[in-house]
Structure 1
Amino acid sequence: MHQLLPGHQYKIIGFSPLISPAYRQKLLSLGFLPGSPFSVVRIAPLGDPIEVKSRRVSLVLRKKDLELLMIEPIAQADASQANVVISQITANGA
């Protein structure tokens, strides 16, 4: 699993084959779908649990539960570049 950092975004690319069907269904119903982004809000002082936020919900999950998600980081440069483009469009009056 990638090291999760507060303020960074990640994308869910799938679920571990070790995840229970009930827990997988719970995450899906909360909006943690493959392809969905989420961000790390904060990490407890001892590193566990971790607060994450998706579009629909904010959750506090244990590390062992987060390890059941297959994730990849979303490049911060991509997000910054998208904000620059939006700023340029707005500045041009479009």
Structure 2
Amino acid sequence: MSTVQPGQHYTVDKYTKEMSLDFRHRLMAMGMIPGSTFQVIRKAPLGDPIEIEVKGFLLSLRKKELSLLNISPRKL
């Protein structure tokens, strides 16, 4: 997920098949469900982890974890 940029908004399109059920449930509990949007706040200096804002709270995800989501840039 090197294509995500700080300040940009993205929409969660769907989960990938490689995602474990446990991780899927954790994301759903935090509001990262298909159709939800999030904003990239910042990336760590080496690019991992990535801090995002979803549903009013901050969440840090590793690039590997973020790659388990099919996302698209949010159209304004």
Q: Give distance in 1, aligned partners of 2:23 and 2:62.
A: 13
Higher alpha-carbon Rg: 1
- Structure 1 residues 11 and 2: CA distance shift in structure 2, 3 A: farther
Higher relative contact order (CA 8 A, sep 6+): 2
Superposition CA RMSD, Å? 1.2
Structure 2 unaligned spans of 5+? none
What secondary structure does 1:27 align onto?
helix
Q: Which runs of 4+ in 1 moved over 2 A?
A: none
Q: Which has the higher helix share?
A: 1
TM-score between the two structures when normalised by the length of structure 2: 0.94
- Structure 1 residue matching 2:22: 3-state secondary structure: helix
Distance in 2, matches of 1:71 and 1:32, equals: 11
Pick the structure with more strand per residue: 2
* CA distances 1:53-91 after superposition (whole Å, capped 9, x unpaired): 11143111100000001100013xx2xxxxxxxxxxxxx
User: For 1:24, what is the secondary structure of its paired residue?
Assistant: helix
**How does the TM-score come out when normalised to structure 1?**
0.77
User: Which stretches in structure 1 are left out of the alignment for 5+ residues?
Assistant: 79-94
Q: Sequence identity of aligned pairs in percent?
A: 42
